[in-house]
Amino acid sequence: MQDVNLLAKHYLLASDFDQTLSFNDSGIVLSELIGVAGFPETIQGLSRTHMVQQGGELAYLLRHDPQFRCVRREHLIEAGKHIRLKNNIRLLFDLLQQIEGHRFSFYVVSAAPQEVIQSALEGIIPVHHIYGSRFQYHPETGEIQSIVNVTAGYGKVATLDRLRESLSISRDRIVYVGDGSSDVHVMLHVNRLDGLTIAVSENKYLTQIARRTVLSDDALAVLVPILEEIVGWNSARIHAFFESHGFVLQEWDKVRTDMLTIVRAPAPTGDHFASADESILS
Ligand SMILES: [Mg+2]
Protein backbone atom coordinates (compact mmCIF):
# COMPACT_ATOMS: atom_id res chain seq x y z
CA MET A 1 0.00 0.00 0.00
CA GLN A 2 2.84 2.31 0.89
CA ASP A 3 4.56 1.65 -2.46
CA VAL A 4 1.38 2.60 -4.29
CA ASN A 5 1.24 5.87 -2.35
CA LEU A 6 4.84 6.67 -3.12
CA LEU A 7 4.23 6.15 -6.82
CA ALA A 8 0.94 8.08 -6.80
CA LYS A 9 0.78 11.38 -8.65
CA HIS A 10 0.53 14.09 -6.03
CA TYR A 11 -1.98 16.93 -6.58
CA LEU A 12 -2.92 20.00 -4.58
CA LEU A 13 -6.67 20.61 -4.35
CA ALA A 14 -7.40 24.09 -3.03
CA SER A 15 -10.95 25.17 -2.32
CA ASP A 16 -12.57 28.48 -1.50
CA PHE A 17 -14.86 28.44 1.57
CA ASP A 18 -17.78 30.94 1.38
CA GLN A 19 -20.45 29.57 -0.97
CA THR A 20 -18.08 26.87 -2.19
CA LEU A 21 -18.06 24.66 0.90
CA SER A 22 -20.90 26.61 2.52
CA PHE A 23 -24.23 28.13 1.52
CA ASN A 24 -23.83 31.58 3.03
CA ASP A 25 -21.16 34.24 3.30
CA SER A 26 -19.26 34.50 6.58
CA GLY A 27 -19.78 38.27 6.58
CA ILE A 28 -23.57 37.97 6.45
CA VAL A 29 -23.59 35.47 9.32
CA LEU A 30 -21.25 37.65 11.38
CA SER A 31 -23.18 40.88 10.74
CA GLU A 32 -26.44 39.19 11.76
CA LEU A 33 -24.74 37.92 14.91
CA ILE A 34 -23.55 41.37 15.99
CA GLY A 35 -26.65 43.21 14.70
CA VAL A 36 -25.16 45.21 11.81
CA ALA A 37 -27.85 45.94 9.21
CA GLY A 38 -27.41 46.38 5.45
CA PHE A 39 -24.25 44.29 5.15
CA PRO A 40 -24.79 43.17 1.51
CA GLU A 41 -25.25 46.81 0.41
CA THR A 42 -22.11 47.88 2.30
CA ILE A 43 -20.11 45.11 0.60
CA GLN A 44 -21.49 46.01 -2.82
CA GLY A 45 -20.63 49.67 -2.32
CA LEU A 46 -17.11 48.85 -1.20
CA SER A 47 -16.65 46.33 -4.00
CA ARG A 48 -17.66 48.90 -6.65
CA THR A 49 -14.81 51.18 -5.60
CA HIS A 50 -12.22 48.39 -6.10
CA MET A 51 -10.34 49.78 -3.13
CA VAL A 52 -9.78 46.33 -1.66
CA GLN A 53 -9.24 42.97 -3.36
CA GLN A 54 -12.50 41.30 -4.40
CA GLY A 55 -13.49 39.11 -1.46
CA GLY A 56 -11.34 41.04 1.02
CA GLU A 57 -14.15 43.45 1.93
CA LEU A 58 -15.03 41.79 5.25
CA ALA A 59 -11.40 41.89 6.42
CA TYR A 60 -11.30 45.60 5.54
CA LEU A 61 -14.54 46.35 7.39
CA LEU A 62 -13.42 44.38 10.46
CA ARG A 63 -10.34 46.55 10.71
CA HIS A 64 -11.69 49.93 9.64
CA ASP A 65 -15.50 50.18 10.01
CA PRO A 66 -16.67 51.48 13.42
CA GLN A 67 -19.74 49.19 13.21
CA PHE A 68 -17.42 46.18 13.39
CA ARG A 69 -15.17 47.52 16.15
CA CYS A 70 -17.02 45.37 18.69
CA VAL A 71 -15.92 42.16 16.95
CA ARG A 72 -13.64 39.89 18.97
CA ARG A 73 -12.16 36.48 18.20
CA GLU A 74 -15.11 34.85 20.03
CA HIS A 75 -17.61 36.43 17.61
CA LEU A 76 -15.74 34.95 14.65
CA ILE A 77 -15.72 31.51 16.29
CA GLU A 78 -19.45 31.84 17.06
CA ALA A 79 -20.21 32.93 13.45
CA GLY A 80 -18.44 29.78 12.22
CA LYS A 81 -20.89 27.64 14.20
CA HIS A 82 -23.84 29.32 12.42
CA ILE A 83 -22.57 28.64 8.91
CA ARG A 84 -24.52 26.09 6.90
CA LEU A 85 -22.07 23.74 5.23
CA LYS A 86 -22.49 21.72 2.07
CA ASN A 87 -22.94 17.98 2.63
CA ASN A 88 -20.09 15.48 2.83
CA ILE A 89 -17.04 17.77 3.11
CA ARG A 90 -15.35 15.28 5.45
CA LEU A 91 -16.07 12.45 3.05
CA LEU A 92 -14.62 14.48 0.16
CA PHE A 93 -11.45 14.96 2.21
CA ASP A 94 -11.29 11.19 2.87
CA LEU A 95 -12.20 9.99 -0.63
CA LEU A 96 -9.50 12.15 -2.18
CA GLN A 97 -7.01 9.85 -0.43
CA GLN A 98 -8.56 6.74 -1.95
CA ILE A 99 -8.21 7.32 -5.68
CA GLU A 100 -5.95 4.75 -7.25
CA GLY A 101 -2.64 6.12 -8.55
CA HIS A 102 -3.38 9.65 -7.32
CA ARG A 103 -2.94 11.50 -4.07
CA PHE A 104 -4.82 14.75 -3.49
CA SER A 105 -3.88 17.11 -0.66
CA PHE A 106 -6.98 19.11 0.18
CA TYR A 107 -6.62 22.68 1.48
CA VAL A 108 -9.06 25.52 2.07
CA VAL A 109 -7.82 28.90 0.81
CA SER A 110 -10.38 31.60 1.53
CA ALA A 111 -10.76 35.29 2.26
CA ALA A 112 -13.05 34.47 5.19
CA PRO A 113 -11.48 35.00 8.62
CA GLN A 114 -9.34 32.04 9.72
CA GLU A 115 -11.31 31.68 12.98
CA VAL A 116 -14.66 31.48 11.13
CA ILE A 117 -13.47 28.72 8.78
CA GLN A 118 -11.70 26.78 11.53
CA SER A 119 -14.77 26.88 13.72
CA ALA A 120 -17.15 25.92 10.89
CA LEU A 121 -14.94 23.02 9.76
CA GLU A 122 -13.96 21.81 13.24
CA GLY A 123 -13.63 18.01 13.22
CA ILE A 124 -14.02 18.01 9.42
CA ILE A 125 -10.82 19.56 8.01
CA PRO A 126 -7.57 19.72 10.03
CA VAL A 127 -6.62 23.24 11.14
CA HIS A 128 -3.29 23.16 9.29
CA HIS A 129 -5.21 22.62 6.02
CA ILE A 130 -7.01 25.97 6.39
CA TYR A 131 -5.64 29.27 5.06
CA GLY A 132 -7.98 32.16 5.83
CA SER A 133 -7.57 35.90 6.46
CA ARG A 134 -5.70 36.53 9.69
CA PHE A 135 -5.81 39.38 12.18
CA GLN A 136 -3.78 40.53 15.11
CA TYR A 137 -5.76 41.20 18.27
CA HIS A 138 -5.03 43.75 20.99
CA PRO A 139 -3.63 41.74 23.93
CA GLU A 140 -5.89 43.49 26.47
CA THR A 141 -9.06 44.66 24.72
CA GLY A 142 -9.17 41.80 22.16
CA GLU A 143 -9.99 44.37 19.46
CA ILE A 144 -8.72 43.68 15.91
CA GLN A 145 -5.51 45.68 15.84
CA SER A 146 -4.19 44.93 12.38
CA ILE A 147 -4.60 42.70 9.35
CA VAL A 148 -1.83 40.10 9.06
CA ASN A 149 -2.88 38.58 5.72
CA VAL A 150 -5.92 38.64 3.42
CA THR A 151 -6.30 35.56 1.24
CA ALA A 152 -8.50 37.26 -1.38
CA GLY A 153 -7.85 38.06 -5.04
CA TYR A 154 -4.10 38.08 -5.64
CA GLY A 155 -3.62 37.03 -2.01
CA LYS A 156 -4.97 33.61 -3.00
CA VAL A 157 -2.40 33.29 -5.78
CA ALA A 158 0.45 34.04 -3.35
CA THR A 159 -0.90 31.57 -0.76
CA LEU A 160 -1.44 28.84 -3.34
CA ASP A 161 2.08 29.26 -4.72
CA ARG A 162 3.62 29.04 -1.26
CA LEU A 163 1.54 25.98 -0.46
CA ARG A 164 2.46 24.23 -3.71
CA GLU A 165 6.14 24.87 -3.12
CA SER A 166 6.04 23.66 0.47
CA LEU A 167 4.35 20.42 -0.66
CA SER A 168 6.78 20.02 -3.60
CA ILE A 169 3.94 19.63 -6.07
CA SER A 170 4.59 20.35 -9.75
CA ARG A 171 3.01 23.45 -11.29
CA ASP A 172 0.43 21.65 -13.41
CA ARG A 173 -0.90 19.47 -10.60
CA ILE A 174 -3.21 21.99 -9.00
CA VAL A 175 -6.98 21.90 -8.79
CA TYR A 176 -8.78 25.06 -7.65
CA VAL A 177 -12.47 25.19 -6.74
CA GLY A 178 -14.32 28.48 -6.23
CA ASP A 179 -17.56 30.36 -6.71
CA GLY A 180 -17.02 34.10 -6.97
CA SER A 181 -15.10 37.09 -8.24
CA SER A 182 -12.56 36.66 -5.41
CA ASP A 183 -11.45 33.54 -7.28
CA VAL A 184 -10.80 35.13 -10.70
CA HIS A 185 -7.08 35.88 -10.17
CA VAL A 186 -6.29 32.45 -8.79
CA MET A 187 -8.22 30.64 -11.52
CA LEU A 188 -6.43 32.56 -14.28
CA HIS A 189 -3.17 31.66 -12.54
CA VAL A 190 -4.03 27.95 -12.24
CA ASN A 191 -5.20 27.83 -15.88
CA ARG A 192 -1.92 29.37 -16.99
CA LEU A 193 -0.06 26.59 -15.13
CA ASP A 194 -2.24 23.98 -16.88
CA GLY A 195 -4.05 23.04 -13.69
CA LEU A 196 -7.77 22.30 -13.37
CA THR A 197 -10.20 25.06 -12.40
CA ILE A 198 -13.72 24.23 -11.24
CA ALA A 199 -16.50 26.81 -10.73
CA VAL A 200 -19.30 25.81 -8.36
CA SER A 201 -21.63 28.70 -9.18
CA GLU A 202 -23.00 30.43 -12.24
CA ASN A 203 -20.94 33.58 -11.64
CA LYS A 204 -20.59 34.92 -15.18
CA TYR A 205 -16.97 36.01 -14.77
CA LEU A 206 -15.92 32.71 -13.32
CA THR A 207 -17.72 30.29 -15.61
CA GLN A 208 -15.94 31.90 -18.56
CA ILE A 209 -12.58 31.21 -16.92
CA ALA A 210 -13.08 27.87 -15.16
CA ARG A 211 -12.43 24.76 -17.21
CA ARG A 212 -15.40 23.03 -15.61
CA THR A 213 -18.53 24.19 -13.82
CA VAL A 214 -20.40 21.89 -11.46
CA LEU A 215 -23.52 22.87 -9.53
CA SER A 216 -24.60 20.82 -6.52
CA ASP A 217 -25.51 21.07 -2.85
CA ASP A 218 -23.05 18.27 -2.17
CA ALA A 219 -19.32 18.89 -1.81
CA LEU A 220 -18.63 15.47 -3.38
CA ALA A 221 -19.76 16.85 -6.76
CA VAL A 222 -16.30 18.30 -7.44
CA LEU A 223 -15.04 14.72 -7.62
CA VAL A 224 -16.81 14.32 -10.97
CA PRO A 225 -14.63 16.75 -13.00
CA ILE A 226 -11.53 15.59 -11.05
CA LEU A 227 -12.17 11.94 -11.87
CA GLU A 228 -12.91 12.79 -15.50
CA GLU A 229 -10.17 15.33 -16.23
CA ILE A 230 -7.32 14.11 -14.03
CA VAL A 231 -7.90 10.45 -13.29
CA GLY A 232 -9.37 9.87 -16.77
CA TRP A 233 -12.37 7.76 -15.77
CA ASN A 234 -15.49 7.45 -17.90
CA SER A 235 -18.98 8.04 -16.54
CA ALA A 236 -19.61 4.32 -15.89
CA ARG A 237 -16.54 4.10 -13.66
CA ILE A 238 -17.48 7.33 -11.87
CA HIS A 239 -20.99 6.01 -11.21
CA ALA A 240 -19.44 2.80 -9.86
CA PHE A 241 -17.04 4.75 -7.60
CA PHE A 242 -19.91 6.72 -6.04
CA GLU A 243 -21.99 3.56 -5.66
CA SER A 244 -19.13 1.77 -3.94
CA HIS A 245 -19.24 4.52 -1.30
CA GLY A 246 -23.01 4.34 -0.91
CA PHE A 247 -24.06 7.18 -3.22
CA VAL A 248 -26.08 7.37 -6.41
CA LEU A 249 -25.55 10.11 -8.94
CA GLN A 250 -29.26 10.61 -9.33
CA GLU A 251 -29.23 13.54 -11.70
CA TRP A 252 -26.12 14.12 -13.73
CA ASP A 253 -27.02 16.51 -16.50
CA LYS A 254 -24.23 17.70 -18.67
CA VAL A 255 -25.37 21.04 -19.98
CA ARG A 256 -23.30 23.50 -21.87
CA THR A 257 -25.03 26.84 -21.66
CA ASP A 258 -24.55 29.49 -24.31
CA MET A 259 -25.54 32.79 -22.75
CA LEU A 260 -26.46 35.43 -25.27
CA THR A 261 -27.84 38.93 -25.34
CA ILE A 262 -29.06 39.94 -28.76
CA VAL A 263 -29.85 43.54 -29.57
CA ARG A 264 -31.03 45.13 -32.78
CA ALA A 265 -28.20 46.69 -34.76
CA PRO A 266 -28.58 50.43 -35.40
CA ALA A 267 -30.37 51.07 -38.68
CA PRO A 268 -27.98 52.13 -41.42
CA THR A 269 -28.39 55.76 -42.37
CA GLY A 270 -28.58 57.04 -45.94
CA ASP A 271 -25.38 59.04 -45.35
CA HIS A 272 -23.46 55.89 -44.49
CA PHE A 273 -24.28 54.30 -47.84
CA ALA A 274 -23.63 57.53 -49.67
CA SER A 275 -20.14 57.80 -48.22
CA ALA A 276 -19.46 54.11 -48.95
CA ASP A 277 -20.56 54.59 -52.53
CA GLU A 278 -18.38 57.62 -52.83
CA SER A 279 -15.33 55.73 -51.57
CA ILE A 280 -15.99 52.97 -54.10
CA LEU A 281 -16.39 55.47 -56.89
CA SER A 282 -13.39 57.57 -56.03
MG1 LIG B 1 -16.60 32.19 -2.20
The pTM (predicted TM-score) of the whole model is: 0.88
Ligand 1 geometric centre to CA of 112 (Å): 9
pLDDT at 266: 85
pLDDT at 279: 44
- Domains of the chain, start order: 2-244 (3.40.50.1000)
Ligand 1 geometric centre to CA of 241 (Å): 28
With a cut of 50, which residues of the chain have pLDDT below it?
A: 1-3, 274-282
Ligand 1 geometric centre to CA of 179 (Å): 5
3-state secondary structure the chain: CHHHHHHCEEEEEEECCCCCCECCCHHHHHHHHHCCCCHHHHHHHHHHHCCCCCCCHHHHHHHHCHHHCCCCHHHHHHHHHCCCECECHHHHHHHCCCCCCEEEEEEEEEEEEHHHHHHHCCCCCCHHHEEEEEEEECCCCCCEEEEEECCCCHHHHHHHHHHHHHCCCCCCCEEEEECCHHHHHHHHHHHHCCCEEEECCCCHHHHHHCCEECCCCEHHHHHHHHHHHHHCCCHHHHHHHHHHCCCCCCCCCCCCCCCCCCCCCCCCCHHHHHHHHHHHHC
- Per-residue pLDDT tens over the stretch 144-193: 999 999 999 999 999 999 999 999 999 999 999 999 889 999 999 999 99
Ligand 1 geometric centre to CA of 129 (Å): 17
- Per-residue pLDDT tens over the stretch 122-141: 999 999 999 999 999 999 99
